[in-house]
Amino acid sequence: MVNDQQLIDQTSQQQSLPELPDGRVKITYIGGGSRQWAPNLFRDLALCTEIEGEVALYDINYESAKLNAEFGDWVLDKNEAVGDWEFTAVEDRATALEGADFVILSTQFDPADTFVHDLDIPKRYGIYGAVAATIGPGGILRAMRTIPVYRELGAAIGEHCPDAWVLNYTNPMTWATRALYEAFPEINALGLCHEVFHAQDMLADLVGRYFDEGRPNRDEIDMNVKGINHFTWVDEAYWRGIDLFEVIDHHLEQKGALREFSVAEMADEDPFVDNNQVTFELYRRFGVLPAAGDRHLVEYAPWFIQGTMPDDLNRWGVKRTTSEYRSQHWEDDATDHQTHDVKSWMDGEEEFSLTESGEIAVDLMKTLSSGGMMKTHVNLPNRGQVSDLPEGVVVETNALIKPNNAKPITAGPLPRPVRTQLRSHVDTHETLIKAAVDGGNVDLAFQAFLNDPQVRTLQTEAARELFAELVDAEADYLGDWDLEASVVLSESNAFHS
């Protein structure tokens, strides 16, 4: 017969039930002075009730982080706000990272010192990049600036919050995400980009146009996504069981669906305008749908930036981002749609409306921490989700998100002609990562540069001079690269540092 004491002893030996999560999380924002992503995040947090907690904002520009913390509090004071968050600007990165459940990354170097050169110097060599942010000569220089920083961030996350989920918005997306995993292979990092959402929106628009059902939400458009960031492809797309490729085919038969634009028509257009003409041209030629904006596609598939410029780019309805736009966009009084002027909102100079941003960071954090399930596209190292690209390279596919788990969904192989294009870019990604890890090997970085499809339009000597001129202009941001040991730079007349 078991007495009371034995029952107590047996009970005490049993494993206790796990505690329910309290719903409070710590979000660390590296680049917390962000002028686009941070204000978008604060909107969504203010409208969120499933999770709550603190947001630590770290930025090398502490005053910008302080301003965003004030803005976060200001948003929470709105009548429509239902979230419970504490925003704090933190001067020390390690303190900001310590104990974080989520780390959001969105950083950028001063465009006046970097981006301007990425756009203007290649143009003098006849390379008319539309964005110069993630590929091409300017994109590669941006990667050279970014990879060492993100290797350092990966190591810091491994030290201070190794179990945190990391949401990276920083471009060049593939290189930044790959650098995080190179530094800390066990990191839980997801690269996030909204370009695929735009493809879903485009297909939703076609559904609304050709079916008497109203325009569906983009989430109702189911696509099989495969590729690399800004050069992602879709080989299946459905809405309510309807093959949307048949809808695209029908659309392209309609008058005006395919057209050319003039320089005059494009003169006053926003640089971010997207007329889908490059998208449709690539779809017609390869039979699968590219799922990125045309301004990015023309850099990865550079047929469209050859010829007489700007005429032969504008004819596709694409407009080049100018260096003047980039530098002005960064100034404190910039009010374009890519930069939020939080001071003008708080001072009442501009109307503020508390609405959802359309981004998914908060949805991801809710799902990863408090339950549920969602499917979305993310950038992750390849573990077979794109079967004919190398293991370990960062690819963009759908993934199933569940509590504390992000499982990429197998997307299958790419059509050979498309794979040919992607493989060139993937090899460039990996070559540059190796160059960064190998003591900042500039000559190996030049090999990656030389293999870029945009650069392959030049003679090798001209490519060397372009590379050296870019490095010389941005040398202050390339301190982790061994410039003095470079044979390529020593051969050039353009390198003076």
Summarize pLDDT for 113-161 with one digit per residue, the tens: 999 999 999 999 999 989 998 999 999 999 999 999 999 999 999 999 9
Where are the extended beta strands (E) located within 170-301? 188-191, 222-228, 231-239, 242-243, 289-290
The pairing of strands 405-408 and 394-402 is antiparallel
Burial class (CB in 10 A: 0-12, 13-18, 19+), 77: exposed
Task: Name which of 19-33, 248-262, 300-314 the model is least confident about.
Answer: 19-33
B/e letters for 212-247, b = 16+ CB within 10 Å, e = fewer, are eeeebebeebbbbbbbbbbbbbbbbbebeeeebbeb
pLDDT at 221 over 90: yes
B/e letters for 473-497, b = 16+ CB within 10 Å, e = fewer, are bbeebbeebebeebebbeebebbee
Q: What is the rounded CA–CA span in Å between residue 96 and residue 156?
A: 11
Stretch 406-429: mean pLDDT, rounded?
A: 97
Q: What is the rounded CA–CA span in Å between residue 289 and residue 164?
A: 34
DSSP characters over 353-408:
-----S--HHHHHHHHHH---EEEEEEEE-SSSSTTS-TTSEEEEEEEEETTEEEE
Indicate if the alpha-carbon torsion angle 23, 28, 32, 35 is positive or negative.
Answer: negative
Q: What is the rounded CA–CA span in Å between residue 296 and residue 305?
A: 11
pLDDT at 9 over 70: no
DSSP-derived 3-state class of residue 464: helix
* Nearest alpha-carbon partner for 473 in 206, 141, 243: 141
pLDDT at 177 over 70: yes
pLDDT at 247 over 60: yes
Enter the pTM of the model.
Answer: 0.92
pLDDT for res 95: 98
Summarize pLDDT for 96-109 with one digit per residue, the tens: 999 999 999 999 89
pLDDT at 337 over 50: no
DSSP 8-class letter at 452:
S
Residue whose tokens read 């799902």: 367
Q: What is the rounded CA–CA span in Å between residue 63 and residue 234?
A: 42
Q: Which of 117, 160, 194, 340 is catalytic?
A: 194
341 vs 365 pLDDT, higher one = 365
Instruction: Tell me, yes or no, if 194 is annotated catalytic.
Output: yes
Length of the chain (residues): 497
Q: What is the rounded CA–CA span in Å between residue 88 and residue 108?
A: 21
Backbone angles phi, psi at 211, to 5 degrees: -125, 140
Give how far Cα 8 sits from Cα of 17, 73, 87, 113, 276, Å. 17, 50, 46, 70, 71
Burial class (CB in 10 A: 0-12, 13-18, 19+), 258: middle
In the chain, DSSP finds a helix count (H) and a strand count (E) of: 20, 13
Q: What is the rounded CA–CA span in Å between residue 380 and residue 60?
A: 27
21 vs 140 pLDDT, higher one = 140
Q: What is the rounded CA–CA span in Å between residue 435 and residue 144?
A: 9
pLDDT at 13 over 80: no
pLDDT for res 117: 94
pLDDT for res 110: 87
